A = this chain, B = another copy of it.
Amino acid sequence: MSFELTILGSNSAAPAHSRHQSAQLLRVENQTFLIDCGEGTQMQISRYRLKLNRLNHIFISHLHGDHFLGLVGLLSTLHLRNRTDDLYIFGPSGLNDIITLHMKYTETVLGYKVHFTSLDPINSEVLVDNEHVNVSSIPLDHRIPCTGFLFREKIKYLKLKKTNNLKLLTSEEISSLKSGHDVMGQNGKVKLAVSDYTESPRKTRTYAYCSDTRYNESILPFIKSVDLLYHESTFLNDHKQRAYDTFHSTAHQAASIASKAQVKKLILGHFSIRYKDLDPLLSEAAEVFPNSHLAVEGQRVSIEY
A108–B284 Cα distance when bound, in Å, is 31
Known: A63-B105, A98-B102. A14 touches B42 (CB 8 A): yes
A69–B70 Cα distance when bound, in Å, is 8
Residues 35 to 80 of chain A near chain B (Cβ within 8 Å): 39-40, 42-43, 46, 63-66, 69-70, 72-73, 76-77, 80
A247 to chain B, nearest CB (A): 11
For chain A, the count of residues having a C-beta within 8 Å of the partner chain is: 36
- Contact residue among B14, B20, B73, B273 (Cβ-Cβ distance under 8 Å from A76): B14
Residues 9 to 45 of chain A near chain B (Cβ within 8 Å): 13-16, 20, 39-40, 42-43
**B72/A43 in contact, CB under 8 A:** no
A163 near B: Cβ within 8 Å?
no
A81–B69 Cα distance when bound, in Å, is 18
Which residues of chain B have C-beta atoms less than 8 A from A43's C-beta? 15, 20, 39-40
A15–B47 Cα distance when bound, in Å, is 11
A144–B107 Cα distance when bound, in Å, is 8
**B80/A14 in contact, CB under 8 A:** yes
A113 near B: Cβ within 8 Å?
no
Which residues of chain B have C-beta atoms less than 8 A from A80's C-beta? 13-14, 273
A114 to chain B, nearest CB (A): 15
Which residues of chain B have C-beta atoms less than 8 A from A94's C-beta? 101, 104-105
Which residues of chain B have C-beta atoms less than 8 A from A39's C-beta? 39-40, 42-43, 69-70, 73
Known: A42-B14, A101-B97, A144-B106. A72 touches B65 (CB 8 A): yes
A47 to chain B, nearest CB (A): 9
A62 to chain B, nearest CB (A): 9
A260 near B: Cβ within 8 Å?
no
A81–B13 Cα distance when bound, in Å, is 11
Which residues of chain B have C-beta atoms less than 8 A from A107's C-beta? 143-144
- Contact residue among B77, B81, B106 (Cβ-Cβ distance under 8 Å from A63): B106
Residues 94 to 129 of chain A near chain B (Cβ within 8 Å): 94-95, 97-98, 101-102, 104-107
A269 near B: Cβ within 8 Å?
no
- Contact residue among B20, B76, B101 (Cβ-Cβ distance under 8 Å from A101): B101
A144–B64 Cα distance when bound, in Å, is 29
A-B pairs, 9 with minimum CB distance: A94-B105, A14-B77, A63-B105, A39-B73, A40-B40, A69-B73, A65-B76, A15-B43, A107-B144
Question: Residues of A with Cβ closer than 8 Å to B?
Answer: 13-16, 20, 39-40, 42-43, 46, 63-66, 69-70, 72-73, 76-77, 80-81, 92, 94-95, 97-98, 101-102, 104-107, 143-144, 273
